[in-house]
Amino acid sequence: MRQCKGWSAALLVLLVLGAVAQKLPTRDEGLFQMQIRDKSLFHDSSVIPDGAEISGYLFRDTPKRYYFVVEEDNTPLSVTVTPCDAPLEWKLTLQELPEEASGEGSGEPEPLDQQKQQVTVDEGTELFTYKGNDVESYVATSTPSGLYQLELLSTEKDSNFKVYATTTPESDQPYPELPYDPRVDVTALGRTTVTLAWKPTPTGILMGQPVQYCVVINKEHNFKSMCAAEAKISVDDAFMLAPKPGRDFSPFDFAHFGFVPSDNGLGKDRGLTSNKISRAYTAKPKVSDIQKVCIGNKNIFTVSDLKPDTQYYFDVFAVNSATNTSTAYVGTFARTKEEARQKTVELKDGKVSDVFIKRKGSKFLRFAPVSSHQRVTLFVHACLDAVQVQVRRDGKLLLSQNVEGVRQFQLRGKPKAKYLIRLRGSRKGASTLKVLATTKPSNKQPFPSLPEDTRIKAFDKLRTCSSVTVAWLGTQDRNKYCIYRKEVADNYGEEQRRREQNQCAGPETRRKSEKVLCKYFHSPNLQKAVTTETITGLEPGKTYLLDVYVVGHSGHSVKYQSKLVKTRKYC
């Protein structure tokens, strides 16, 4: 047993290193519980408390030293180091301290600077070294009393780590114990789901400690510790892209009718070739490639919303809820099944095809002109939400765009070329489309031309108990417009109106009693391409849904955005 004066020297050294006058932790349980609750005792300190896990941070190529006291000979010792962001090099040594302070026989201790130099210059007895990114431990059933030094180094990059040291490893058991078979098994595999199962930890069952399981999913590799997974998650969160500011679409309106004038393209034709009816989409935030889900004490879990034909890595961690320490199971990986190959729809030259796509689904269309051609004209009419359109000619990508409303694309032709069109549906719900491909030049387009703004404007000052007055925009092409009305409940909301906003559902789907009138309208001057209509015969205090349909030369129609109006209750 070393003498008290030697221990006082060690204590003074640690006080200098820690820069805080504090009593070193021991395994006196009352004192230990008080110390681990007081986090300030160990904050930014070089002292490792006995029986509590600490977190630290390393700058690249800058070693860091921690100290741990064993007070009696023949004491068990366990030191566990958990790398997080990068592989670590670490070394455990037993420091040789002077048996007595010299002080030239005066009984006074040596100056503090000399004592610190004695500890730091003398490398001591090396007990254990390790280099790598595994969770590694030094365990000894019997160790001499003394001052133990743990030195850590990260040569790759700045890194987080965790350290746990105890002189009572048998009773502490800080980390949940793994079962005899620590593997994670894949029990079911689908296109977008993977079901995992593992054997429960004995820590929760036999020892009654609060244990929960956390599952980590990513596409890169398995993790050897929860600390490593959380470090990756925090990096992804820090660099996640924020969505770019969105732009409201520029309506082509008229001030004297309550519309906001557009600042561009006033003299241009507002037909299909020069315009698109679509909102400006904002860039979506980057979705993190790693996810962590804590599921309580269940040992079966189904991961959903995965991508088909994609390899994923799965890790399970048993977490002690009281201490937040964790143990990693042996992770696994699996590739989700491929999407079922869909039947390709053949498009006929000049014929409109109706296409239905399930939510988040896809459809493939094939167009193979029988004769040589210089150009292919493709019309896409998205009836509900926006869809993504991709076109390939003989495998070469020609276009990839989001489409809302009616769009016309001009594709350069090639002799004997074949075109593959992929339509991807919306995340909000099922999609309905009308698609036409043709190599025949024609002055008459199958779909009617539309203004940039397809809203219906109602005039509040012209509203009476039995009538409302509305206006809408037209184009330079002479088209037929039909207006319909339908009485709805006062609580008729935006969600109901959205469900009925199928632009492909034409006037033929409406009751005859709902028809107000049909008329032809156009204007060579786009600044005057606006028409008004007063709808009469309405009842006081009632709410009505108004729809305007524009009908093209071939009979295909497109519906403007529906408008809710309410007549005055008292006049």
> What pLDDT is stored for residue 239 in this prediction?
39
Q: What is the pLDDT of residue 206?
A: 62
Q: Say how far apart CA 540 and CA 201 lie, in whole Å.
A: 71
Residue 442 confidence (pLDDT): 67
The single-letter code of the amino acid at 400 is: S
Question: What is residue 60's three-state secondary structure?
Answer: coil
Tens digit of pLDDT for each residue in 320-350? 888 888 999 999 999 999 877 768 889 998 8
Dist. CA 362–CA 474, nearest whole Å: 34
Tell me the mean pLDDT in the region 418-431. 87
Q: Which of 170-174, 183-187, 461-465, 476-480 has the lowest mean pLDDT?
A: 170-174
| For helices 4-18 and 112-121, angle between their N-to-C axes, nearest 10 degrees | 90
pLDDT of residue 203: 82
Averaged pLDDT for residues 117-140: 79
Around Cβ 500, how many Cβ atoms within 10 Å?
14
pLDDT beyond 80 at 8 = no
For the record, the structure tokens of 310 come out as 């994609």
Of 544, 532, 531, 518, the C-alpha closest to 465 is: 544
Among the ranges given (237-241, 341-345, 402-406), the one the predictor scored with the smallest mean pLDDT: 237-241
Q: What is the pLDDT of residue 151?
A: 94
> Which band of pLDDT confidence, cut at 50, 70 and 90, is reported for residue 453?
confident
Decide which of 5 and 451 is more confident: 451
Dihedral Cα 534, 538, 541, 543, nearest 10 deg: -80
Task: Answer positive or negative: Cα dihedral of 302, 307, 310, 313.
Answer: negative
pTM of model > 0.75: no
Q: How confident is the model at residue 465 (pLDDT cuts 50, 70, 90)?
A: very high
- Buried b / exposed e across 357-381, counting CB within 10 Å, b at 16+? beeeeebebebebeeebeebbbbbb
pLDDT surpassing 60 at residue 393: yes
Q: Which two tokens stand for residue 58?
A: 């390393």
**Count of beta carbons in the 10 Å neighbourhood of residue 520:** 10
CA distance 483 to 557: 12
Label residues 40-51 b or e (16+ Cβ within 10 Å = b): ebbeebbbbbbb
Does position 64 have pLDDT exceeding 50, yes or no?
yes
Task: Please give the CATH topology (third level) of the domain spanning 456-566.
Answer: Immunoglobulin-like (2.60.40)
Count of CB atoms within 10 A of residue 561's CB?
Answer: 15
Residues 526 and 267: beta-carbon distance below 8 Å: yes
* Residue 205 confidence (pLDDT): 65
Domain 52-96+123-172, CATH number (from 1.20.1600.10, 2.60.420.10, 3.40.50.2300, 2.60.120.680) = 2.60.120.680
Domain 184-240+287-336 fold is Immunoglobulin-like (2.60.40)
The per-residue pLDDT for 271 is: 38
Instruction: Give the domain ranges of the chain.
Output: 52-96+123-172, 184-240+287-336, 345-438, 456-566
Residues with Cβ within 8 Å of 328's Cβ and at least 6 positions away in sequence, in order, are 135, 223, 224, 225, 226, 315, 316, 317
More confident residue, 461 or 275: 461
Please compute the mean of the pLDDT values over residues 347-374 and round it to a whole number: 88
Closest CA to 48 of 30, 36, 66: 66
Q: Do domains 52-96+123-172 and 345-438 have the same CATH topology?
A: yes
Residues in the chain: 571
Judged by average pLDDT, the poorest of 44-58, 281-295, 490-504, 555-569 is: 281-295
Segment among 23-27, 46-50, 298-302, 519-523 with least mean pLDDT: 23-27
User: Which architecture, in CATH terms, is 345-438?
Assistant: Sandwich (2.60)
Q: Quick: pLDDT tens for 495-532.
A: 666 666 777 788 888 999 999 999 998 998 888 899 99
Q: Which residues contact 330 (CB under 8 A, 6 or more apart)?
A: 182, 183, 184
pLDDT band at 41 (very low <50, low <70, confident <90, very high): very low
The dihedrals phi and psi of 182, each to the nearest 5 degrees, come to -90, 15
The pLDDT value recorded for residue 534 is 95
